[in-house]
């Protein structure tokens, strides 16, 4: 179990050569610290989707748990209005709710939206998948990217303007998905897009 692995790891790093010089209060503080981290890792293990926990048998016969992959990042750009735009990506979301972290088995890809000359270009990083695994659903004001393969991705992108769902084109190369859209003045129905 992870908590046992963590206990052993932490004991090895407690600077045993200093222990005789410290008081009983220090030892008590270290034991409380151990308990605190055990509780954190127990709570974390309950939050992690089963798809992100793998067991591995070690050469000595014991079983080790591997968690992940865990990805979190963000990009900051300055929008056309001069205001910063923050886009998060990954499968971990910091939260101010009851749970400090939200962990899913689907990563949110890093997405950039470029608006130019009556066109919208959506560029998403979705490495490690085949183009046949990518599903795109386009509505006049949103684009949903989903991949349900060995690597899983999901992102619903809000578009800055309405787009023509009939003229959408998508391509995928070297882990980068590019969706080209044309702006539209009037509303239209949603559509699936084929990735080329």
Q: What is the pLDDT of residues 145-156, one digit of tens each?
A: 999 888 889 999
Higher confidence at residue 137 or residue 28? 137
81 alpha-carbon distance from chain centroid: 28
Q: What is the pLDDT of residues 103-135, one digit of tens each?
A: 677 888 889 888 888 899 999 999 999 999 999
C-alpha 106/C-alpha 29 separation (Å) is: 39
Higher confidence at residue 80 or residue 35? 35
> Is 34 part of a structural domain of the chain?
yes
Question: What does pLDDT average to over the chain?
Answer: 78
Pick from 67, 87, 121: which residue ends a domain? Answer: 67
Same domain, residue pair 51 and 111: no
Backbone angles phi, psi at 131, to 5 degrees: -60, -30
> Is 125 part of a structural domain of the chain?
yes
Q: Which domain holds residue 17?
A: 2-67
> Is 135 part of a structural domain of the chain?
yes
Same domain, residue pair 110 and 179: yes
pTM recorded for the entire structure:
0.56
> Is 42 part of a structural domain of the chain?
yes
CB 116 within 8 A of CB 137: no
State yes or no: pLDDT of 27 exceeds 70.
Answer: yes
**What domain count does the chain have?**
2
Backbone angles phi, psi at 78, to 5 degrees: -100, 125
Higher confidence at residue 181 or residue 185? 181
The candidate with the shortest Cα–Cα distance to 138, out of 75, 190, 85, is: 190
pLDDT at position 120 is 92
> Is 147 part of a structural domain of the chain?
yes
> Is 12 part of a structural domain of the chain?
yes
pLDDT at position 173 is 94
CB 153 within 8 A of CB 146: yes
């Amino acid at each position: 179990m992870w908590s046992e692995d963590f206990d052993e790891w932490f004991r090895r790093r407690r600077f045993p050569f200093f222990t005789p010089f410290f008081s009983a209060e220090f030892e008590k503080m270290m034991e409380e610290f151990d308990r605190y981290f055990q509780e954190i890792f127990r709570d974390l293990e309950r939050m992690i989707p089963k798809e992100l926990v793998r067991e591995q048998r070690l050469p000595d016969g014991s079983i080790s748990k591997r968690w992940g992959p865990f990805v979190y990042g963000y990009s900051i750009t300055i929008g056309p209005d001069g205001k910063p735009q923050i886009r998060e990506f990954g499968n971990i979301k910091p939260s101010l709710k009851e749970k400090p972290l939200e962990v899913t088995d689907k990563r949110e890809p890093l997405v950039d939206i470029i608006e130019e000359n009556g066109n919208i270009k959506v560029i998403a990083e979705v490495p490690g998948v085949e183009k046949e695994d990518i599903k795109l659903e386009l509505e006049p004001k949103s684009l949903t990217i989903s991949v349900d393969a060995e690597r899983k991705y999901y992102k619903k992108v809000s578009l800055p303007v309405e787009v023509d769902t009939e003229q959408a084109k998508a391509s995928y190369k070297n882990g980068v998905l590019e969706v080209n859209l044309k702006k539209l003045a009037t509303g239209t129905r949603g559509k699936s897009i084929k990735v080329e």
